[in-house]
Structure 1
Amino acid sequence: MIRNSFPAQRIVQWRSHQSHQQITGWAFTPRWIFSAVASLWIFSLTAGPAFAQNSPSLSESKLEISKQSWADLMAMLPKYRGKVVVIDLWSTSCDPCLKEYPGILALQKKYPQEIVCVSMNCDYIGVKTKPVEYYRPRVVEFLQSQNSNIVHLMCNEPADELFEKLKLDSIPAVYVFDQQGQQVKRFDGQYTREVSNASATQSAGKAAADSEEDEEESKFSYAEDVAPVVEKLLKK
């Protein structure tokens, strides 16, 4: 089974835990500091050059990433009037998000003139020592690895506040807006795929077993769920 959702609250809790560890979780004794400095010096002589060559350079990146709130994004919709808009909320801490991300790129490639695909990263959690820009390198690294060429945004409001505002309990989450800017569909962990009566009975037992196996599973994907909704709108 493909895991397609990740609890939004878990991402926020995990990042908060990491931040707390960085602040209070280490005892910086003189011996520890000496060992750390020595290790870094040896690393710089050996792995340093290779690491630098493999790391993406922000200065050389052609990616354009704007910092926006959800309200800012909604205010942008009128300029896309006449086109279907697909918005993907994701995080670098969410494996299902990263696995599903190629789907939005394939959708944009298939309908380059008819739709606008928007990627909104939700890594920022509101920690003062880690502003939105702190997460930019890892976001850029992932987007570059995907050759992403859609609209890129980084949410500048804390993830937990955004998720609460949208009543969102898991990501990835995908929003589809029609040519008039009206939301017609939302895909998230609560989404249930519609099935025909013939296959409903056959899949009922499997669905129950899947639910017991992992309550965080969802059944949406770009190929099987998002794309058909978009294509239906384009035929109107």
Structure 2
Amino acid sequence: MIVGVFKKMVPLLLAGLLAGCGGGENSESTSQKEQAEPQTTADYVEQATFTSLDGDTVSVSDFKGKVVMIDLWETWCKPCLASFPTLQKLQEEYPDDFVLLAVTPGFTDTKEDARAFAREHDYDFTYLMDSNGLHEKVGVQGIPFKLYVDAEGNFIQKSMGSYGPDQDYKKVKEIIEKHKQQDEAGSET
């Protein structure tokens, strides 16, 4: 009896092994998909796209020539909001060199929540929704969470949390100064 059961199971086991190992045409298409997908935090950030509050697609690459800070935030996050005046000040100090993308991951906030916040506050940020799941791809576990891209469009670093408005100001200013675009003579613009 055991031999009979074993004989019936062998073909099923072999079929399962072949399917599990990716034999056949599907393995090529899966492999091609994996190669086309970004694989690192840098790839995900540099190729990130978001949805504006008006429904337009906005890409990180749209801001080439400026240091970009992707600030993942929500309206209930007190440390996020505490740094907004500081970040506004930096945008005013570096209008040609820095842009803040205030990106709502949608943990609890909706597009309407972000829109209401933008209307009620006089910040000159680019408000966006994380419609393509960047926060999941880069492993965001909490907010505030910041991702930085240099003026050439290259990922610089990520950071979680806040050190308070004054320290956040110093840290972001240092990043802007170090990574803003330089003119052809090698001096900063």
Q: Would the TM-score normalized by the shorter structure come out above 0.5?
A: yes
**Post-superposition offset of 1:229:** 1.1
The change in CA–CA distance for 1:117 and 1:93 in structure 2 (over 3 A counts) is same
Secondary structure at 2:96 match in 1 = coil
Partner of 1:170: 142
Specify which structure has the bigger relative contact order, considering alpha-carbon pairs within 8 angstroms and separated by 6 or more residues: 1
Partner of 2:39: none
Q: Which amino acid in the other structure matches residue 116 of structure 1?
A: V
| Counterparts of 1:219 and 1:112, CA distance in 2 | 24
RMSD value, Cα: 2.7
Number of residue pairs matched?
Answer: 129
The change in CA–CA distance for 1:149 and 1:177 in structure 2 (over 3 A counts) is same
Partner of 1:149: 124
The TM-score, its normalising length taken from structure 2, stands at: 0.57
Matches within 5 A, 1:98-137: 98-124=81-107, 135-137=110-112
Partner of 1:87: 70
Q: List gaps (5 residues or longer) in structure 1.
A: 1-63, 126-131, 190-217
1:188 to 160, 166, 170: 160
Runs of 4+ aligned structure 1 residues displaced above 6 Å come to none
**Post-superposition offset of 1:172:** 0.7
| Counterparts of 1:84 and 1:120, CA distance in 2 | 16
Higher share of residues assigned helix: 1
Q: Deviations over 1:52-93 (max 9, x none)?
A: xxxxxxxxxxxx72457xxx65xx233322221121110113
| Counterparts of 2:159 and 2:117, CA distance in 1 | 22
Q: Deviations over 1:140-168 (max 9, x none)?
A: 222233212221112225xxx64332112
Matches within 5 A, 1:48-59: none
Secondary structure at 2:114 match in 1 = helix
Q: Percent identity?
A: 26
Highest CA radius of gyration, 1 or 2? 2
1:65 to 53, 73, 82: 53
| Counterparts of 1:175 and 1:162, CA distance in 2 | 10
Secondary structure at 2:70 match in 1 = strand
